[in-house]
Amino acid sequence: MNQQKRSRRIFITDFKSQMVNLYLQEKSRTNLAKEYDLTPSSLDRKINQSSKSDSFESQVDHTPEENELIALHNELKQLRMEKDILKQAT
């Protein structure tokens, strides 16, 4: 069997929450994985992460300076995305 390695995908929090909610509503893991093209291990990871902390964010304690740097980085990404959208609109 010739299997190609998948590239790593990043899922937004809303998508992860939706997958966990569907699982909790008794939709089978197998069907979810097939329907949304997920690996069973990634689905298990989302379910376990949600059950342990009710959050998909990592539980790392940052210094105030690190938090500020993270916030600035996120703001920069958002502004770049908005700039690209505006460029495409013109």
Domain match, 53 and 85 both? no
Domain match, 27 and 49 both? yes
Rounded Cα–Cα distance for residues 17 and 19 (Å):
5
Residue 3 lies in a domain: no
Identify the residue with better confidence: 36 or 2.
36
**Pair of tokens at residue 60:** 């790392």
**Pair of tokens at residue 6:** 């998948």
Res. 71: pLDDT tops 70? yes
Rounded Cα–Cα distance for residues 12 and 90 (Å):
28
Look at the chain and report how many structural domains it folds into: 2
Domain match, 46 and 73 both? no
pLDDT (0 to 100) of residue 55? 61
Residue 2 lies in a domain: no
pTM beyond 0.85: the answer is no
Rounded Cα–Cα distance for residues 59 and 52 (Å):
11
Could you tell me the residue range of the domain that residue 17 belongs to? 10-59
pLDDT (0 to 100) of residue 58? 52
pLDDT in tens, 19-39: 888 888 988 888 888 888 888
Answer positive or negative: Cα dihedral of 7, 16, 56, 65: positive
